[in-house]
Amino acid sequence: MSGAIEKVGVVGGGIMGTGIAEVCARSGLSVTLVEVNADAAVAAGERVEKSLRRAVSRSKISEGDATAALARLRYADDIGALEDRSVVVEAVVEARDAKLSVFSRLAEVVADEDAILASNTSSIPIVELATAAGSRADHVLGLHFFNPVPVLSLVEIIPSLLTAEDVVERTRAFATERLGKDPIVAPDRAGFTVNALLIPYLLAAIRMFEQGLASAEDIDKGMVEGCAHPMGPLALADLIGLDTVMGVAESLYSEHREQLFAPPPLLQRLVAANLLGRKSGRGLYSYE
């Protein structure tokens, strides 16, 4: 890879993917976001534009900066559109097979042999994604952002056993110098650093509510006003998405077999009913 990183690709146009694309475009980078079909690509573009307009209304950025960021974004429904990218961040659904397929394809289509192939996964082992990339395994690592991406400064950089050291250092420089983020290096284990601590806390709150030991409102108020947390655990679980919370919990439990990582029955039932939190209008709370 020669020179500074200027071209970034994002695979997946959900909340995290569009947030990553927005941050990159606001940082002056050319961004191509790939979705599964044309309709999804249009929806992703609308999501980014809505977020930028919200930032303007809150005086976080100027109208001119928002317009410039939008001009740096393009959308596609073919992963081949990422051929000329220097960094690609995968942000598709938190499902192992879907992510493995993306990395197998990226290894085929990204022309620059030194390109960084990163995953925003919350829980899937990076070494598995690296193996899917074949001969490019040493250029694969985790780059885990936090929601909302334009607001929160932390990112986790997760090298696997196969990741080259220079790829880690270039990713750190990209996160700090280009995106203005504040990275930590996390181990390639289920949950990495943040979710390995956060998920058991969220599950404990769900169990407390499920068992009728306290109301949802009192659980959240207790942690906000008693522990100075900006948001209570149940409201946070709804914000993250209960399907994502359960997916990370299942990965943690599968790897460690400790009961504190086991998804409570209430969480399993809510996910089965597609009551996923804010994004579906109802979860542990109702947003309708």
The pLDDT tens digits for 35-59 are: 999 999 999 999 999 999 999 999 9
Report, as an integer, the average pLDDT of 110-114: 96
Mean pLDDT over each residue of the chain, to the nearest integer: 96
Collapsing DSSP to helix, strand or coil, 89 comes out as strand
Label residue 284 by pLDDT band (50, 70, 90): very high
Give me the active site residues, please: 122, 144, 156, 195
How much is the pLDDT for 1? 44
Same domain, 150 and 238: no
Percent of the chain topping pLDDT 70: 99
Report, as an integer, the average pLDDT of 99-128: 96
DSSP label at 144? E
* Boundaries of domain holding 271: 194-280
Say if CB 61 and CB 26 are below 8 A apart. Answer: yes
pLDDT digit string, tens, across residues 154-192: 999 999 999 999 999 999 999 999 999 999 999 999 899
Label residue 95 by pLDDT band (50, 70, 90): confident
Q: State how many domains the chain has.
A: 2
Helix runs in 143-215, H state only: 165-173, 194-210
How much is the pLDDT for 274? 98
Same domain, 167 and 201: no
**What is 1-54 written as a DSSP string?**
--SS--EEEEE--SHHHHHHHHHHHHTT-EEEEE-SSHHHHHHHHHHHHHHHHH
* 73 belongs to a structural domain: yes
* 287 belongs to a structural domain: no
Phi and psi at 59, nearest 5°, equal 60, 30
Last residue within a domain, chosen from 185, 214, 229: 185
* 2 belongs to a structural domain: no
How much is the pLDDT for 172? 97
Report, as an integer, the average pLDDT of 200-229: 98
How much is the pLDDT for 3? 59
Same domain, 77 and 177: yes
Integer Cα distance of 89 and 158 in angstroms: 13
Percent of the chain topping pLDDT 90: 93
pLDDT digit string, tens, across residues 122-146: 888 999 999 999 999 999 999 999 9
How much is the pLDDT for 123? 82
Same domain, 181 and 245: no
Same domain, 19 and 144: yes
Say if CB 189 and CB 160 are below 8 A apart. Answer: no
Report, as an integer, the average pLDDT of 252-256: 92
Same domain, 179 and 210: no
Contacts of residue 269, Cβ cutoff 8 Å, sequence gap at least 6: none
Residue 238 CB neighbours (<10 A):
26
